Amino acid sequence: MLETNPFSILAETVSPFAMQSFIIAMIVLIALGTIIQMIHHKNLTYFLNNAKKAKLQATREIGTGERVSILAKTTVVDIGTTAELGFGKRRLSHVLGMYGTIIFWISSAMLVFCYTGADKSSSTIWSMLWHVGAILTCIGGYWFWFFLRVDVSAEAHPWYRIIKADLFVLALLACSTFGLAWSYAQFNGQDGLSFLFLTLFVTSNLILFGGVYWSKFAHMFYKPGAAIQKNLAEADGSRDNLPPPADAPEQFGLGIKREEPKHY
Amino acid sequence: MSTFVYMTRCDGCGHCVDICPSDIMHIDENIRRAKNIEPNFCWECYSCVKACPNHAIDVRGYADFAPMGHSVRVRREEEKGTISWKIKFRNGTTKDFVSPITTKPWGKFIPKLADGDKPNQGEINSQRLYTEPEGLNIDGELPVVPKESFKKGVYY
Protein backbone atom coordinates (compact mmCIF):
# COMPACT_ATOMS: atom_id res chain seq x y z
CA MET A 1 0.00 0.00 0.00
CA LEU A 2 2.78 2.44 0.98
CA GLU A 3 4.33 2.26 -2.49
CA THR A 4 1.05 2.79 -4.36
CA ASN A 5 -0.10 6.16 -5.61
CA PRO A 6 -3.73 6.36 -4.38
CA PHE A 7 -4.53 9.14 -6.87
CA SER A 8 -3.59 7.04 -9.91
CA ILE A 9 -6.18 4.39 -8.89
CA LEU A 10 -8.72 7.17 -8.34
CA ALA A 11 -7.93 8.50 -11.83
CA GLU A 12 -9.91 5.56 -13.24
CA THR A 13 -13.11 7.25 -12.03
CA VAL A 14 -12.18 10.92 -11.48
CA SER A 15 -10.29 12.87 -14.14
CA PRO A 16 -6.77 14.09 -13.20
CA PHE A 17 -7.84 17.59 -14.30
CA ALA A 18 -10.54 17.62 -11.57
CA MET A 19 -7.96 16.57 -8.96
CA GLN A 20 -5.50 19.23 -10.14
CA SER A 21 -8.25 21.87 -10.06
CA PHE A 22 -9.10 20.83 -6.48
CA ILE A 23 -5.49 21.35 -5.36
CA ILE A 24 -5.34 24.76 -7.07
CA ALA A 25 -8.62 25.71 -5.38
CA MET A 26 -7.11 24.76 -1.99
CA ILE A 27 -4.02 26.90 -2.66
CA VAL A 28 -6.28 29.85 -3.57
CA LEU A 29 -8.22 29.32 -0.32
CA ILE A 30 -4.97 29.40 1.71
CA ALA A 31 -3.87 32.61 -0.01
CA LEU A 32 -7.29 34.24 0.46
CA GLY A 33 -7.53 33.21 4.14
CA THR A 34 -4.04 34.48 4.85
CA ILE A 35 -4.58 37.84 3.12
CA ILE A 36 -7.95 38.39 4.84
CA GLN A 37 -6.42 37.49 8.20
CA MET A 38 -3.44 39.79 7.67
CA ILE A 39 -5.76 42.68 6.76
CA HIS A 40 -8.07 41.95 9.68
CA HIS A 41 -5.37 41.49 12.33
CA LYS A 42 -3.03 44.11 10.81
CA ASN A 43 -0.04 41.79 11.33
CA LEU A 44 2.09 43.41 8.65
CA THR A 45 1.42 46.93 9.98
CA TYR A 46 2.35 45.73 13.47
CA PHE A 47 5.64 44.24 12.27
CA LEU A 48 6.59 47.30 10.25
CA ASN A 49 5.80 49.66 13.15
CA ASN A 50 7.72 47.44 15.55
CA ALA A 51 10.71 47.31 13.23
CA LYS A 52 10.74 51.13 13.00
CA LYS A 53 10.53 51.44 16.79
CA ALA A 54 13.34 48.91 17.27
CA LYS A 55 15.56 50.79 14.79
CA LEU A 56 15.16 54.01 16.79
CA GLN A 57 16.06 52.23 20.04
CA ALA A 58 19.04 50.34 18.64
CA THR A 59 22.30 50.87 20.52
CA ARG A 60 24.53 49.44 17.80
CA GLU A 61 24.49 49.03 14.04
CA ILE A 62 24.23 45.53 12.58
CA GLY A 63 26.36 44.90 9.50
CA THR A 64 25.08 43.03 6.45
CA GLY A 65 27.15 39.94 7.25
CA GLU A 66 25.87 39.77 10.80
CA ARG A 67 22.30 40.34 9.61
CA VAL A 68 22.59 37.49 7.11
CA SER A 69 24.07 35.19 9.73
CA ILE A 70 21.22 36.05 12.18
CA LEU A 71 18.64 35.40 9.45
CA ALA A 72 20.26 32.07 8.56
CA LYS A 73 20.48 30.97 12.21
CA THR A 74 16.86 32.00 12.82
CA THR A 75 15.69 30.11 9.74
CA VAL A 76 17.53 26.91 10.65
CA VAL A 77 17.03 26.88 14.44
CA ASP A 78 14.01 29.02 15.33
CA ILE A 79 11.86 28.34 12.29
CA GLY A 80 13.16 24.94 11.17
CA THR A 81 12.96 23.35 14.60
CA THR A 82 10.36 25.67 16.24
CA ALA A 83 12.85 26.65 18.96
CA GLU A 84 10.33 28.93 20.71
CA LEU A 85 8.65 25.83 22.13
CA GLY A 86 11.77 25.05 24.20
CA PHE A 87 13.13 21.55 24.66
CA GLY A 88 10.31 19.14 25.27
CA LYS A 89 7.33 17.19 24.08
CA ARG A 90 5.47 20.19 22.59
CA ARG A 91 8.39 20.98 20.30
CA LEU A 92 8.83 17.37 19.20
CA SER A 93 5.11 16.98 18.54
CA HIS A 94 5.05 20.26 16.58
CA VAL A 95 8.10 19.31 14.52
CA LEU A 96 6.58 15.89 13.70
CA GLY A 97 3.26 17.46 12.71
CA MET A 98 4.86 20.33 10.81
CA TYR A 99 7.23 18.26 8.67
CA GLY A 100 4.62 15.51 8.29
CA THR A 101 2.12 18.03 6.95
CA ILE A 102 4.64 19.72 4.63
CA ILE A 103 5.71 16.33 3.20
CA PHE A 104 2.05 15.24 2.90
CA TRP A 105 1.01 18.40 1.02
CA ILE A 106 4.03 18.56 -1.30
CA SER A 107 3.79 14.85 -2.15
CA SER A 108 0.03 15.19 -2.76
CA ALA A 109 0.70 17.96 -5.29
CA MET A 110 3.57 16.00 -6.89
CA LEU A 111 1.53 12.80 -7.18
CA VAL A 112 -1.51 14.55 -8.66
CA PHE A 113 0.35 16.84 -11.09
CA CYS A 114 3.21 14.58 -12.19
CA TYR A 115 2.28 10.95 -11.62
CA THR A 116 -1.50 10.69 -12.12
CA GLY A 117 -3.05 10.12 -15.56
CA ALA A 118 -3.17 7.63 -18.40
CA ASP A 119 0.29 8.33 -19.86
CA LYS A 120 2.07 9.15 -16.58
CA SER A 121 4.68 6.96 -14.91
CA SER A 122 4.50 5.93 -11.24
CA SER A 123 6.78 7.05 -8.42
CA THR A 124 7.45 4.79 -5.45
CA ILE A 125 9.33 7.52 -3.56
CA TRP A 126 6.57 10.16 -3.76
CA SER A 127 3.91 7.55 -2.87
CA MET A 128 5.96 6.49 0.16
CA LEU A 129 6.47 10.14 1.15
CA TRP A 130 2.71 10.77 0.91
CA HIS A 131 1.99 7.94 3.36
CA VAL A 132 4.93 8.77 5.67
CA GLY A 133 3.84 12.42 5.78
CA ALA A 134 0.31 11.44 6.76
CA ILE A 135 1.60 9.04 9.45
CA LEU A 136 3.96 11.69 10.93
CA THR A 137 1.11 14.23 10.98
CA CYS A 138 -1.07 11.70 12.82
CA ILE A 139 1.64 10.91 15.41
CA GLY A 140 2.40 14.58 16.16
CA GLY A 141 -1.25 15.65 15.98
CA TYR A 142 -2.80 12.93 18.14
CA TRP A 143 -0.02 13.30 20.72
CA PHE A 144 -0.79 17.02 20.89
CA TRP A 145 -4.55 16.47 20.94
CA PHE A 146 -4.71 13.90 23.73
CA PHE A 147 -1.83 14.95 26.00
CA LEU A 148 -0.17 18.26 25.20
CA ARG A 149 -2.96 20.76 24.51
CA VAL A 150 -2.56 23.47 27.09
CA ASP A 151 -6.25 23.53 28.02
CA VAL A 152 -5.88 19.84 28.87
CA SER A 153 -2.45 19.90 30.51
CA ALA A 154 -2.53 23.32 32.22
CA GLU A 155 -6.24 24.09 32.63
CA ALA A 156 -7.40 20.54 33.47
CA HIS A 157 -10.11 20.43 30.84
CA PRO A 158 -11.00 16.94 29.57
CA TRP A 159 -9.44 15.97 26.21
CA TYR A 160 -12.85 15.67 24.54
CA ARG A 161 -13.79 19.32 25.17
CA ILE A 162 -13.69 20.99 21.75
CA ILE A 163 -13.31 24.74 21.17
CA LYS A 164 -13.08 26.85 18.02
CA ALA A 165 -9.28 26.85 18.20
CA ASP A 166 -9.36 23.06 17.71
CA LEU A 167 -10.84 23.33 14.23
CA PHE A 168 -7.43 23.47 12.57
CA VAL A 169 -5.81 20.54 14.37
CA LEU A 170 -8.95 18.40 14.12
CA ALA A 171 -9.36 19.10 10.41
CA LEU A 172 -5.67 18.36 9.84
CA LEU A 173 -5.91 15.08 11.76
CA ALA A 174 -9.11 14.13 9.92
CA CYS A 175 -7.37 14.88 6.63
CA SER A 176 -4.37 12.61 7.31
CA THR A 177 -6.37 9.86 9.01
CA PHE A 178 -9.07 9.64 6.32
CA GLY A 179 -6.39 9.95 3.62
CA LEU A 180 -4.59 6.90 5.00
CA ALA A 181 -7.87 5.00 5.53
CA TRP A 182 -8.94 5.78 1.94
CA SER A 183 -5.60 4.61 0.55
CA TYR A 184 -5.85 1.37 2.58
CA ALA A 185 -9.47 0.62 1.59
CA GLN A 186 -8.82 1.45 -2.07
CA PHE A 187 -5.67 -0.72 -2.16
CA ASN A 188 -7.63 -3.68 -0.74
CA GLY A 189 -10.51 -3.22 -3.22
CA GLN A 190 -13.12 -2.31 -0.57
CA ASP A 191 -15.19 -0.04 -2.81
CA GLY A 192 -17.83 1.06 -0.29
CA LEU A 193 -15.33 1.97 2.45
CA SER A 194 -13.02 3.53 -0.11
CA PHE A 195 -15.81 5.87 -1.32
CA LEU A 196 -16.76 6.73 2.27
CA PHE A 197 -13.18 7.60 3.30
CA LEU A 198 -12.57 9.53 0.07
CA THR A 199 -15.68 11.64 0.77
CA LEU A 200 -14.47 12.29 4.35
CA PHE A 201 -10.95 13.07 3.05
CA VAL A 202 -12.30 15.66 0.59
CA THR A 203 -14.64 17.16 3.21
CA SER A 204 -11.87 17.49 5.81
CA ASN A 205 -9.65 19.15 3.19
CA LEU A 206 -12.40 21.67 2.44
CA ILE A 207 -12.81 22.41 6.16
CA LEU A 208 -9.05 22.64 6.70
CA PHE A 209 -8.32 25.02 3.84
CA GLY A 210 -11.56 26.93 3.59
CA GLY A 211 -13.40 26.73 6.86
CA VAL A 212 -10.91 27.62 9.56
CA TYR A 213 -12.39 30.54 11.49
CA TRP A 214 -9.18 32.60 11.38
CA SER A 215 -6.55 31.56 8.90
CA LYS A 216 -4.19 29.35 10.84
CA PHE A 217 -1.94 29.48 7.81
CA ALA A 218 -1.12 33.12 8.47
CA HIS A 219 0.86 32.04 11.52
CA MET A 220 3.28 30.29 9.18
CA PHE A 221 4.27 33.77 8.02
CA TYR A 222 4.09 35.87 11.17
CA LYS A 223 5.73 33.36 13.52
CA PRO A 224 8.96 33.36 11.46
CA GLY A 225 8.61 37.16 11.22
CA ALA A 226 8.39 37.44 15.01
CA ALA A 227 11.42 35.13 15.46
CA ILE A 228 13.53 37.18 13.02
CA GLN A 229 12.52 40.45 14.68
CA LYS A 230 13.26 39.06 18.15
CA ASN A 231 16.78 37.93 17.21
CA LEU A 232 17.56 41.16 15.34
CA ALA A 233 16.36 43.17 18.35
CA GLU A 234 18.68 41.15 20.62
CA ALA A 235 21.60 41.82 18.31
CA ASP A 236 21.07 45.57 17.82
CA GLY A 237 20.60 46.18 21.55
CA SER A 238 16.99 47.42 21.39
CA ARG A 239 15.75 44.07 22.81
CA ASP A 240 12.10 45.21 22.85
CA ASN A 241 13.00 47.09 26.05
CA LEU A 242 13.99 43.83 27.78
CA PRO A 243 16.95 43.95 30.18
CA PRO A 244 20.24 42.52 28.89
CA PRO A 245 21.24 38.99 29.96
CA ALA A 246 22.42 39.14 33.59
CA ASP A 247 26.12 39.51 34.20
CA ALA A 248 25.95 37.28 37.26
CA PRO A 249 27.68 34.07 38.22
CA GLU A 250 25.76 30.87 37.60
CA GLN A 251 23.54 29.79 40.47
CA PHE A 252 23.36 33.35 41.75
CA GLY A 253 19.97 32.37 43.10
CA LEU A 254 18.55 28.96 43.85
CA GLY A 255 18.78 27.96 40.21
CA ILE A 256 15.21 26.73 40.23
CA LYS A 257 14.27 24.43 37.35
CA ARG A 258 11.20 25.30 35.33
CA GLU A 259 8.44 22.76 35.79
CA GLU A 260 5.72 21.77 33.37
CA PRO A 261 2.55 23.89 33.75
CA LYS A 262 0.50 21.23 35.49
CA HIS A 263 -0.22 22.72 38.89
CA TYR A 264 -3.91 23.39 38.43
CA MET B 1 -2.43 48.64 34.86
CA SER B 2 -2.86 44.96 34.10
CA THR B 3 -1.03 42.37 32.09
CA PHE B 4 -1.46 41.95 28.36
CA VAL B 5 -0.08 39.43 25.88
CA TYR B 6 1.81 40.02 22.64
CA MET B 7 0.02 37.51 20.42
CA THR B 8 2.90 37.19 17.96
CA ARG B 9 5.25 36.07 20.74
CA CYS B 10 2.88 33.83 22.74
CA ASP B 11 3.01 30.14 21.86
CA GLY B 12 0.22 29.06 24.22
CA CYS B 13 2.50 27.04 26.52
CA GLY B 14 0.32 27.61 29.61
CA HIS B 15 2.97 28.74 32.12
CA CYS B 16 1.08 31.97 32.83
CA VAL B 17 -2.20 30.05 33.14
CA ASP B 18 -0.50 27.79 35.63
CA ILE B 19 1.11 30.44 37.80
CA CYS B 20 -1.50 33.24 37.93
CA PRO B 21 -2.60 33.61 41.58
CA SER B 22 -5.79 35.34 40.48
CA ASP B 23 -6.62 32.66 37.89
CA ILE B 24 -7.28 35.27 35.21
CA MET B 25 -4.73 34.13 32.62
CA HIS B 26 -6.56 31.75 30.30
CA ILE B 27 -6.24 30.31 26.83
CA ASP B 28 -8.21 32.07 24.11
CA GLU B 29 -10.83 29.79 22.58
CA ASN B 30 -10.30 31.07 19.04
CA ILE B 31 -6.56 31.33 18.66
CA ARG B 32 -5.14 29.19 21.50
CA ARG B 33 -2.97 31.96 22.89
CA ALA B 34 -2.92 33.29 26.45
CA LYS B 35 -5.09 36.25 27.43
CA ASN B 36 -6.02 38.13 30.57
CA ILE B 37 -9.73 37.41 30.92
CA GLU B 38 -10.36 39.93 33.70
CA PRO B 39 -7.89 42.84 33.81
CA ASN B 40 -9.72 44.39 36.79
CA PHE B 41 -8.71 41.43 38.93
CA CYS B 42 -5.01 41.56 38.00
CA TRP B 43 -2.79 41.88 41.07
CA GLU B 44 0.11 43.16 38.96
CA CYS B 45 2.27 40.61 40.74
CA TYR B 46 4.38 40.04 37.60
CA SER B 47 4.29 36.26 38.13
CA CYS B 48 3.14 35.61 34.55
CA VAL B 49 5.58 38.17 33.15
CA LYS B 50 8.46 36.37 34.85
CA ALA B 51 7.17 32.89 34.04
CA CYS B 52 6.68 33.50 30.31
CA PRO B 53 9.54 31.79 28.44
CA ASN B 54 8.94 33.95 25.34
CA HIS B 55 8.69 37.37 27.01
CA ALA B 56 5.24 37.63 25.50
CA ILE B 57 3.54 39.23 28.51
CA ASP B 58 3.91 42.85 29.45
CA VAL B 59 2.39 45.03 32.13
CA ARG B 60 2.21 48.72 32.70
CA GLY B 61 3.89 49.41 36.03
CA TYR B 62 2.59 51.44 38.94
CA ALA B 63 2.27 55.13 38.19
CA ASP B 64 3.77 56.06 41.58
CA PHE B 65 7.26 54.79 40.75
CA ALA B 66 7.28 55.18 36.98
CA PRO B 67 5.07 57.83 35.36
CA MET B 68 3.11 57.27 32.17
CA GLY B 69 4.89 56.40 28.95
CA HIS B 70 7.37 54.10 30.64
CA SER B 71 8.11 50.39 30.30
CA VAL B 72 8.98 47.77 32.93
CA ARG B 73 10.28 44.51 31.54
CA VAL B 74 11.70 41.36 33.09
CA ARG B 75 14.12 38.66 31.97
CA ARG B 76 14.19 35.43 33.95
CA GLU B 77 17.28 33.27 33.52
CA GLU B 78 16.79 30.02 35.38
CA GLU B 79 20.19 28.60 34.50
CA LYS B 80 21.85 31.61 36.17
CA GLY B 81 19.22 31.91 38.89
CA THR B 82 18.60 35.59 38.09
CA ILE B 83 15.73 37.96 37.50
CA SER B 84 16.70 41.14 35.65
CA TRP B 85 14.49 44.22 35.48
CA LYS B 86 14.71 47.13 33.10
CA ILE B 87 12.72 50.25 33.81
CA LYS B 88 12.65 52.79 31.04
CA PHE B 89 11.20 56.23 31.76
CA ARG B 90 9.52 58.37 29.15
CA ASN B 91 12.48 60.77 29.06
CA GLY B 92 14.72 57.87 28.02
CA THR B 93 16.33 57.24 31.42
CA THR B 94 16.82 53.55 32.08
CA LYS B 95 17.41 51.64 35.29
CA ASP B 96 18.62 48.04 35.37
CA PHE B 97 18.37 45.70 38.35
CA VAL B 98 19.47 42.09 38.83
CA SER B 99 18.18 39.92 41.69
CA PRO B 100 18.49 36.27 42.60
CA ILE B 101 15.50 34.02 42.01
CA THR B 102 14.11 33.24 45.43
CA THR B 103 11.15 31.17 44.27
CA LYS B 104 10.77 27.83 46.04
CA PRO B 105 9.97 24.69 44.06
CA TRP B 106 6.23 24.15 43.55
CA GLY B 107 4.37 23.01 46.69
CA LYS B 108 7.48 21.81 48.54
CA PHE B 109 7.29 24.21 51.47
CA ILE B 110 4.22 25.75 53.08
CA PRO B 111 1.63 24.25 52.78
CA LYS B 112 3.34 21.16 51.26
CA LEU B 113 0.91 20.89 48.39
CA ALA B 114 3.13 18.35 46.64
CA ASP B 115 2.28 15.82 49.38
CA GLY B 116 -1.47 16.45 49.09
CA ASP B 117 -4.02 14.58 46.98
CA LYS B 118 -4.51 15.57 43.35
CA PRO B 119 -7.90 17.29 42.91
CA ASN B 120 -10.50 15.35 40.93
CA GLN B 121 -12.47 16.90 38.04
CA GLY B 122 -15.43 17.75 40.31
CA GLU B 123 -13.18 19.63 42.73
CA ILE B 124 -11.46 21.45 39.87
CA ASN B 125 -14.81 22.63 38.50
CA SER B 126 -16.19 23.68 41.90
CA GLN B 127 -16.14 27.26 43.21
CA ARG B 128 -14.07 26.24 46.23
CA LEU B 129 -10.32 26.57 46.32
CA TYR B 130 -8.06 23.56 46.85
CA THR B 131 -8.39 22.03 50.37
CA GLU B 132 -11.27 24.33 51.33
CA PRO B 133 -12.77 24.26 53.94
CA GLU B 134 -10.30 21.97 55.83
CA GLY B 135 -7.33 24.06 54.72
CA LEU B 136 -8.85 27.07 56.48
CA ASN B 137 -9.21 25.06 59.72
CA ILE B 138 -12.97 25.28 59.51
CA ASP B 139 -15.16 22.40 60.58
CA GLY B 140 -18.11 21.81 58.31
CA GLU B 141 -19.29 24.34 55.76
CA LEU B 142 -17.76 27.69 54.85
CA PRO B 143 -19.40 30.62 56.68
CA VAL B 144 -22.10 32.38 54.65
CA VAL B 145 -23.32 35.96 54.90
CA PRO B 146 -27.06 35.97 54.11
CA LYS B 147 -27.85 38.13 51.08
CA GLU B 148 -30.70 39.86 52.96
CA SER B 149 -28.20 41.36 55.40
CA PHE B 150 -26.31 43.18 52.61
CA LYS B 151 -26.43 46.94 52.76
CA LYS B 152 -28.37 48.41 49.83
CA GLY B 153 -26.47 50.64 47.43
CA VAL B 154 -23.07 50.61 45.79
CA TYR B 155 -20.11 48.96 47.44
CA TYR B 156 -16.63 50.34 47.00
**The CA-based dihedral angle spanning residues A16, A17, A18, A23, taken in that order and rounded to the nearest 10 degrees:** 90
User: pLDDT (tens digit, 9 = 90+) per residue, A94-132?
Assistant: 999 999 999 999 999 999 999 888 787 888 899 999 999
Phi, psi at B71, each rounded to 5°: -140, 140
For residues A235-249, average pLDDT: 85
Rounded to an integer, what is the distance from CA B99 to the centroid of its chain? 20
* Whether residue A30 has pLDDT greater than 90: no
Q: Which residues of A touch B102 (CB under 8 A)?
A: 253-254
Q: How many residues does chain B have?
A: 156
Q: What is the pLDDT of residue A137?
A: 96
Is B106 tagged catalytic?
Answer: no
Rounded to an integer, what is the distance from CA A92 to the centroid of its chain? 13
Per DSSP, what are the bridge partners of residue B98?
A: B84
Architecture of domain B1-59: 2-Layer Sandwich (3.30)
Sketch the domain layout of chain B as residue ranges: 1-59, 104-142
| Closest alpha carbon within chain B to A227 | B9
| Closest alpha carbon within chain A to B16 | A261
* Whether residue A149 has pLDDT greater than 70: yes
Q: Which residues of B touch A225 (CB under 8 A)?
A: 8
| Closest alpha carbon within chain B to A249 | B80
User: pLDDT (tens digit, 9 = 90+) per residue, A65-88?
Assistant: 999 999 999 999 888 988 888 778
Q: How far apart are CA A195 and CA A9, in angstroms?
A: 12
Classify strands B71-77 and B82-88 as parallel, antiparallel or unpaired: antiparallel
Task: Decide if A213 and B8 are in contact by the 8 Å CB cutoff.
Answer: no
Classify strands B57-59 and B34-36 as parallel, antiparallel or unpaired: unpaired
Sketch the domain layout of chain A as residue ranges: 6-54+103-235
Q: Could you tell me which residues come within 8 angstroms of residue A160 by beta carbon, excluding any fewer than 6 positions away? A: none
For residues A252-258, average pLDDT: 65
Q: What is the pLDDT of residue A150?
A: 75
Q: How far apart are CA A105 and CA A134, in angstroms?
A: 9
SS3 content of chain B, % helix, strand, coil (to 5): 15, 20, 60
Q: How far apart are CA B50 and CA B40, in angstroms?
A: 20
Q: What is the pLDDT of residue A247?
A: 83
Q: In chain B, which stretches have pLDDT less than 70?
A: 1, 61-66, 107-111, 154-156
B95 and chain A: CB distance < 8 Å anywhere? no
User: pLDDT (tens digit, 9 = 90+) per residue, B118-132?
Assistant: 888 888 888 888 888
For residues A237-252, average pLDDT: 81
Q: What is the pLDDT of residue A71?
A: 93
- From the CA of B141, how many Å to the nearest CA of chain A? 23
C-alpha atoms less than 13 angstroms from C-alpha of B3 in its C-beta half-sphere: 32
Q: How far apart are CA A90 and CA A82, in angstroms?
A: 10
Q: How far apart are CA A136 and CA A153, in angstroms?
A: 22
Of A151, A225, A257, the CB nearest to B78: A257
- Greatest mean pLDDT among A165-174, A251-260, B99-108 lies in A165-174
